C-alpha cells in the first residue's frame, strides 16, 4: 500500500519512476473494459441547454434593445409628434367655410364617447390591452398557433400600443429592424403614458379609410355624426375598418364591412364587454353607412388655398386661420347654376363638366366652381384644366389692333382666306364682305380675326395677352386668333378684368390674411394690383365692341336687364370647349363647359350653355345694384363735334397716334403741315390721310 493507502507504486521500465496506481489488483477491471462514469438523464441536459440558450438569447436581446433604443434616440423619435397643423378657412363675412387637419388637437377624449367605442377596438385588436406591458407574449403565442393551424397569416400579434408606435413614428416597412423599433417604442409609450392616454391617442391617430384620420372624422365620414353619438353597431363597423381600411370601407364594401362588424360584436361579447342580449340586438340590426352625398363646391377653392399656403407663409408648422375673399352667397349661386345646368342639359348636349369663376374689380375671387360635383371629382377645372379658349381669345387680337392705330369703326373684309396651309372658316361658312371691327367682334367672324392676327403680328398678340394676365405659354402662329393655345379659366377671367375696371391688370387672389391660433398675424395682403395696362380710350373702344357681342351678337343670352354688360363667346375646335367671358362695372365672370376626356360636345357654342350659366350667376348677383356704365370714353370721343375748335385735331391725333411706329415720322410731318382753315377742308384732308393709312396697312 502507498502511504495514503490508495495503491502501490510501480516503476516503469523506461523511466524507473513510480506510477500511481488508483486501483488494487483486485479491483482493476478485467477483460479490457474501460470505466463507465455515471451521467445525468437526457431531460436534465436539455433543460440545462435550454436555460443556457435562453440566457444568451436574453443577453443578445438586451444588447439589441439597447442598440435600437439609442439609434431611435438619435433620430429624435422619443416624442409624440404633434398632429398635422390644421386650418380654418373663413369667408369674407366671417363664416367658416371649412376646417382642414386638426385645429384644436385630438378631436375626442376617451370619456366623451360611449364605453363600447373603445371596447369594440380592444375586442378585435387587443383584448388584453389593459393587462400587458406594450408587448403581449400571450397574444403573440395565440397568433402563432392560429397562423400555424391556418397555414397562413390570419391573426397578428401586435398590440394597440405597438400599432400606435408604428403609426406615430415609423414608416410602413416590413423588416425585422422596423419590428424591433416598434417594440422598443411601444415599451417607451407604456412607460411614459397611461393606458387611457395610449388608447385615446390610438383612436385619434389611426387611419380609418376614405381619407379619415381619427375616429371623429371617420364617424362623420361614414355616418354623418360625431363619434360621441355612434351606436354599438356603428362602433363595431368603425373598429372593423382598422384591419384593412380599403377592404372594410362601409361605403365601397358594405357587405364586407357588416361581416367584419359582426366579428367585432361577437368578440365584444366573448370578452365580456357587452351582454349576449346586446350582441344579438346589434347583430340583428346591423348598422349602415350614411355617407355625405354632397360637399360644397367651395372646397375647390379650399384646396386651392391650401396649395398657396407654403408660398404665403412657408412650411405650415402651426394651426392657422385663413381669411378669404369668398362670398358665400355668390358661391352658392354659382355652384347651383353650374350644377343644375350641366345636370339638366348636359346629357343631351354631351357635356359632363362645367366650371365658373367670379372676380371683383381688384381680382379678388368671390366664387369658384371647379366642377359639377366635388364629391365625385376634386379636380379643379377652373384653376388646373388647360383648354383651348376658342374665339374668347379674340379680344387680345383686337386690342393689339387698337394699339396699332385701328378703331372699332375700321373696316375689314370678311371673305374666305388662306394663310399658308390654313384656311379659317366662319361659323356655318357665311361671309359678309365689308364689316366694321365692331361688327366682326359681335358676330365672331373668324376670317377677320385671323387676318388681323397676321397683320398685327402673332407675337404682338401674345405680348398683349400676357400684359393683361394670361400666364400660359402661347404659340405665335396665325391660329392664335381663334384661341388654339391652351389656357385656364381663371387666367382668362382675370385677363378680362382690365376692360371692366378701367384698364388695370389684376392678379387673382383669395387670401387676405392669415392668423395663427394664438392671434398673431403672420400674413396680410397689401398692394393695389399690377397697374394700368390699357389706356382709357382703348378700354372704351374694347367695351364698345364687347358690349355689342351681348346686345346683338353671339352672346345675346347673357343680357341682364338694367345693367351694362359686355363679353365674348368662345368655341374651340370640334366643339370640344365652350366659353363665355363677361363682365359689368361690378363683377367679372368666366364660364367653361366641356368634357374631361376632351371629347366633342354636341355642337355646344359659347353663346349657348356657357352664356346661360353666366346669366344664371350674374343676374342674381346684380339684383338691387344701380345701373352703371362700363368705363372708357370711346363713345364720347367718337361723337364729339368735328366743328369744335381743335376737336377734330384731337380726335385724329388720338386715333392716329396709335398707328404703327413706322408711320410716326410722316404723321408728325402731316400735322406740322396741316393748316386748312375750314372744318370741311379739315375733314377732307383727314379722310384722305386715313384712306392712305388703310392702303399702307
Asked whether residue 631 is domain-assigned, the answer is no
584 catalytic, yes or no? no
Same domain, 245 and 360: no
Domain that holds residue 658: 640-696
Asked whether residue 589 is domain-assigned, the answer is yes
- CA dist., res. 417 & res. 146, Å (int): 81
Same domain, 379 and 272: no
C-alpha atoms less than 13 angstroms from C-alpha of 275 in its C-beta half-sphere: 3
pLDDT at residue 1, as a whole number: 40
End-of-domain residue from the set 231, 262, 284: 284
Same domain, 542 and 678: no
End-of-domain residue from the set 591, 621, 651: 621
Helical (H) or strand (E) element with 320: strand 320-324
The whole-model pTM stands at 0.73
What HEC string does 97-146 produce? EEEECECCCCCCCHHHCCCHHHHHHHHHHCCCHHHCCCCCHHHHHHHHHH
Asked whether residue 372 is domain-assigned, the answer is yes
473 catalytic, yes or no? no
- Per-residue pLDDT reduced to its tens digit, 564-614: 999 999 999 999 999 999 999 999 999 999 999 999 999 999 999 999 999
- CA dist., res. 172 & res. 183, Å (int): 14
pLDDT at residue 452, as a whole number: 95
pLDDT at residue 666, as a whole number: 47
Asked whether residue 588 is domain-assigned, the answer is yes
Torsion-angle region of 428 (φ positive above 0: left; ψ -120 to 50: alpha; else: beta) = left
Asked whether residue 145 is domain-assigned, the answer is yes
| CATH classification of the domain holding 166 | 1.10.3810.10
Same domain, 582 and 671: no
Asked whether residue 437 is domain-assigned, the answer is yes
- CA dist., res. 434 & res. 694, Å (int): 14
Count how many domains the chain has: 3
Which entry of 125, 182, 216, 491 is annotated as an active-site residue? 125
Q: What is the DSSP string of 43-56?
A: HHHHHHHHHHHHHH
Which entry of 391, 392, 410, 485 is annotated as an active-site residue? 391
CB 116 within 8 A of CB 273: yes
pLDDT at residue 4, as a whole number: 36
- CA dist., res. 622 & res. 628, Å (int): 11
Asked whether residue 516 is domain-assigned, the answer is yes
User: Beta-carbon neighbour count of residue 49 at 10 Å?
Assistant: 10
Same domain, 168 and 218: yes
pLDDT at residue 84, as a whole number: 73
Same domain, 166 and 135: yes
Closest by CA to 563, choosing from 509, 651, 630, 650, is 630
- CA dist., res. 451 & res. 481, Å (int): 9
User: Mean pLDDT per 10-residue run, the chain (697 residues)?
Assistant: 40 43 43 52 68 66 56 56 80 90 71 95 92 78 58 64 82 63 82 91 90 89 93 96 93 94 96 95 93 86 94 88 96 97 95 97 97 93 97 97 92 92 87 94 95 95 95 93 95 97 95 92 86 92 96 96 96 95 98 96 96 98 94 57 36 43 44 43 51 54
Same domain, 553 and 652: no
User: In the chain, how long is the greatest CA-to-CA distance?
Assistant: 168
Amino acid at each position: 500500500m502507498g502511504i495514503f493507502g490508495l495503491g502501490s507504486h510501480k516503476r516503469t521500465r523506461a523511466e524507473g519512476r513510480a506510477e500511481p496506481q488508483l486501483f488494487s489488483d483486485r479491483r482493476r477491471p478485467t477483460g479490457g473494459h474501460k470505466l463507465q462514469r455515471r451521467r445525468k438523464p437526457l431531460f436534465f441536459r436539455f433543460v440545462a441547454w435550454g436555460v443556457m440558450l435562453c440566457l444568451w438569447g436574453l443577453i443578445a436581446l438586451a444588447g439589441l434593445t439597447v442598440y435600437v433604443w439609442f439609434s431611435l434616440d438619435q433620430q429624435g423619435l422619443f416624442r409624440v409628434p404633434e398632429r398635422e397643423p390644421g386650418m380654418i378657412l373663413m369667408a369674407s363675412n366671417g363664416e367658416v367655410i371649412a376646417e382642414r387637419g386638426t385645429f384644436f388637437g385630438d378631436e375626442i377624449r376617451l370619456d366623451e364617447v360611449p364605453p363600447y367605442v373603445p371596447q369594440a377596438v380592444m375586442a378585435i385588436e387587443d383584448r388584453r390591452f389593459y393587462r400587458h406591458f406594450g408587448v403581449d407574449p400571450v397574444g403573440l403565442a395565440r397568433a402563432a398557433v392560429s397562423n400555424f393551424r391556418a397555414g397562413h397569416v390570419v391573426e397578428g400579434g401586435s398590440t394597440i400600443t405597438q400599432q400606435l408606435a408604428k403609426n406615430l413614428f415609423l414608416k410602413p416597412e416590413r423588416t425585422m429592424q422596423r419590428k424591433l423599433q416598434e417594440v422598443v417604442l411601444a415599451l417607451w409609450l407604456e412607460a411614459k403614458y397611461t393606458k387611457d392616454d395610449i388608447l385615446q391617442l390610438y383612436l385619434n391617430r389611426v387611419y380609418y379609410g376614405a381619407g379619415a384620420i381619427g375616429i371623429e372624422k371617420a364617424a362623420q365620414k361614414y355616418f354623418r355624426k360625431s363619434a360621441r353619438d355612434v351606436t354599438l353597431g356603428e362602433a363595431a363597423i368603425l373598429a372593423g375598418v382598422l384591419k384593412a381600411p380599403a377592404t372594410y370601407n362601409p361605403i365601397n364594401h358594405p357587405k364586407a364591412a357588416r361581416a367584419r362588424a359582426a366579428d367585432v360584436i361577437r368578440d365584444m361579447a366573448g370578452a365580456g364587454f357587452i351582454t349576449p342580449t346586446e350582441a344579438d340586438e346589434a347583430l340583428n340590426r346591423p348598422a349602415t353607412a350614411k355617407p355625405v352625398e354632397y360637399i360644397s363646391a367651395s372646397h375647390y377653392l379650399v384646396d386651392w388655398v391650401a396649395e398657396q399656403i407654403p408660398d404665403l407663409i412657408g412650411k405650415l408648422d402651426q394651426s392657422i386661420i385663413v381669411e378669404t375673399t369668398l362670398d358665400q352667397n355668390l358661391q352658392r349661386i354659382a355652384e347651383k347654376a353650374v350644377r343644375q345646368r350641366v345636370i339638366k342639359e348636359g346629357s343631351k348636349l354631351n357635356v359632363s363638366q362645367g366650371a365658373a369663376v367670379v372676380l371683383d374689380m381688384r381680382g379678388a375671387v368671390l366664387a369658384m366652381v371647379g366642377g359639377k360635383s366635388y364629391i365625385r371629382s376634386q379636380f379643379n377645372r377652373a384653376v388646373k384644366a388647360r383648354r383651348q379658349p376658342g374665339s374668347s381669345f379674340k379680344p387680345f387680337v383686337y386690342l393689339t389692333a387698337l394699339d396699332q392705330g385701328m378703331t372699332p369703326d375700321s373696316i375689314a373684309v370678311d371673305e374666305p382666306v388662306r394663310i399658308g396651309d390654313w384656311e379659317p372658316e366662319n361659323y356655318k361658312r357665311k361671309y359678309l364682305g365689308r364689316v366694321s371691327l365692331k361688327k366682326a367682334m359681335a358676330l365672331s367672324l373668324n376670317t377677320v380675326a385671323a387676318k388681323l392676327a397676321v397683320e398685327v403680328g402673332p407675337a404682338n398678340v401674345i405680348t398683349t395677352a400676357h400684359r393683361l394676365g394670361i400666364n400660359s405659354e402661347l404659340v405665335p402662329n396665325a391660329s392664335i386668333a381663334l384661341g388654339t393655345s391652351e389656357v385656364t379659366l381663371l387666367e382668362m377671367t382675370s385677363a378680362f378684368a382690365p376692360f371692366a375696371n378701367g384698364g388695370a391688370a389684376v392678379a387673382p387672389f383669395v387670401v387676405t390674411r392669415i392668423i395663427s391660433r394664438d392671434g398673431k398675424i403672420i400674413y396680410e395682403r397689401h398692394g393695389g394690383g399690377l397697374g394700368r395696362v390699357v389706356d382709357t380710350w382703348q378700354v372704351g373702344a374694347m367695351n364698345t365692341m364687347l358690349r355689342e357681342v351681348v346686345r346683338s351678337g353671339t352672346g345675346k343670352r347673357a343680357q341682364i336687364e338694367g345693367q351694362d354688360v359686355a363679353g365674348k363667346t368662345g368655341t374651340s375646335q370640334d366643339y370640344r370647349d365652350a366659353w363665355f367671358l363677361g363682365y359689368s362695372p361690378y363683377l367679372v365672370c368666366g364660364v367653361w363647359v366641356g368634357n374631361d376626356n376632351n371629347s366633342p360636345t354636341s355642337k355646344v357654342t359659347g353663346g349657348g350653355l356657357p352664356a346661360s350659366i353666366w346669366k344664371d350667376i350674374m343676374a342674381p348677383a346684380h339684383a338691387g345694384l344701380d345701373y352703371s356704365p362700363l368705363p372708357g370714353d370711346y363713345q364720347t370721343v367718337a361723337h364729339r363735334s368735328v366743328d369744335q375748335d381743335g376737336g377734330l385735331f384731337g380726335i385724329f391725333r388720338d386715333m392716329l397716334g396709335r398707328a404703327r411706329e413706322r408711320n410716326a415720322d410722316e404723321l408728325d410731318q402731316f400735322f406740322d403741315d396741316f393748316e386748312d382753315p375750314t372744318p370741311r377742308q379739315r375733314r377732307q384732308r383727314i379722310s384722305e390721310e386715313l384712306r392712305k393709312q388703310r392702303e399702307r396697312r
